[in-house]
Amino acid sequence: MTESIRPSSELRNKYNEVIRECREQNVAVILTVNGKGDSAIMSYEKYTELMDELQLYRDLAEAEADVREGRVSYAKDTYDSIRKKIESMEL
């Protein structure tokens, strides 16, 4: 993702321009205060995309930890166990 760096005063003075840049150019606008990065603005679409991607990475890390720790089973064993439970409920 490309970034654009602007002083925070531009958000106040040129709000529509800053927001349009986020949306149309798909960039994050980094706002500075006294020359240092302070905040970032991005389109809602990009934000949700990044949050979904972050959740996927978290889920993958958790799955990898499960494999490392041996907290896994074969799908066939799981399905067999479920089938047995269902069959016992039907009686």
Q: Looking at residue 2, what is its pLDDT?
A: 85
Is residue 66 a contact partner of residue 21, using CB atoms and an 8 Å limit?
no
- Is residue 49, in this structure, part of any structural domain at all? yes
What pLDDT, in 10s, does the model give residues 46-58?
999 999 999 999 9
Q: Looking at residue 18, what is its pLDDT?
A: 95
Reported as a pLDDT band with limits 50, 70 and 90, residue 91 is low
- Is residue 91, in this structure, part of any structural domain at all? no
H/E element, 27: strand 27-33
Handedness of CA 63, 68, 73, 74 (dihedral sign): positive
**Percent over 70 (pLDDT), the chain:** 99
Q: Tell whether 2 and 25 lie within a shared domain.
A: yes
Give the separation between CA 8 and CA 41, rounded to whole angstroms.
11
What pLDDT, in 10s, does the model give residues 65-79?
999 999 999 999 999
Q: Looking at residue 55, what is its pLDDT?
A: 98
Q: Tell whether 48 and 79 lie within a shared domain.
A: yes
For residue 58, the enclosing domain spans 44-86
